Structure 1
Amino acid sequence: MFESISTPDFETLYTKNDLNVIDIRETESFLQGHLAHSMSLPATVLPNMLKQLNKEKTYHIISYSGRRSEIIASFMASKGFHAVHVIGGMQQLSHAF
């Protein structure tokens, strides 16, 4: 299943719940700043790492601006994962976190 969530709704959910967040930015960008407890799986390697993920979990996918996360969330959904695209990405979240 593929869904999208707005930045404000994600921020509320993130602060109140233990989410499975996958940051698909390149490692260098991830190391410069990321959400606590998020997993770094760059978009270039994620397709090869799907076997390590649990299809029973929901994954919130985040990129810099939200464009690539929408593509990856859709791809993951096509493979049987419950993926949620975070609209606006880190670009909008960086002000709140």
Structure 2
Amino acid sequence: MQLPAISATAVPADAYLLDVREDDEWAAGHAPGAVHLPMMQVPARLEEIPRDAEVVVVCRVGGRSSQVVSYLLNNGFTNVVNLDGGMQDWAASGREVVAGDGQPGRVI
């Protein structure tokens, strides 16, 4: 099955960006306004993921996030898409990356 996906440049400013990377990756750098929910915690925290807005799921390169998108689709979500290329493409396309302390971040 082809998963729904979006490019970093096409993500709307008001999208709900769900970052499923680990704590150290998140702290090093993430998209402003993103919500951190590590991949392994998704099943226990499904109720925190909105069903009434487009949810863009992101990891470092798109592998883990595609697994999360597949999981969410299999659990009744219809509003989730994978960020093609993950945070690496996000940063490469010139989108802002911030660290945990608000300083410029980096993708690790």
TM-score by length of 1: 0.84
Alignment check: 8 A CA contact 1:61 1:84 kept? yes
Question: Does 2:69 align with 1:69?
Answer: no
Show CA shifts across 1:1-46 (max 9, x none). x51113xxx32433xx311000000011101000000000010111
Secondary structure at the aligned position of 1:94 is classed as helix
- Provide structure 2 residue ranges, at least 5 long, that are not aligned to the other structure: 96-108
| CA pair 12-52 structure 1, distance change in 2 beyond 3 A | closer
Aligned residue number for residue 83 of structure 1: 80
- Over the aligned positions, Cα root-mean-square deviation in angstroms equals 1.4
Percent of aligned pairs with the same amino acid: 25
Show CA shifts across 1:33-81 (max 9, x none). 0000000001011111101222222210000010111110111111122
Q: Which has the larger radius of gyration?
A: 2
Kindly report which structure 2 residues correspond to 1:51-62, keeping only aligned pairs within 5 A, or say none. 51-62=47-58
TM-score by length of 2: 0.76
Counterpart residue identity of residue 88, structure 2? Q
In structure 1, how many angstroms separate the alpha carbons of the residues matched to 2:91 and 2:44? 28
> How many residue pairs were aligned?
91
Moved over 6 A (4+): none
Work out which of the residue numbers 8, 11, 17 in structure 1 matches 2:9.
11
- Provide structure 1 residue ranges, at least 5 long, that are not aligned to the other structure: none
Secondary structure at the aligned position of 1:21 is classed as strand
Higher helix share: 1
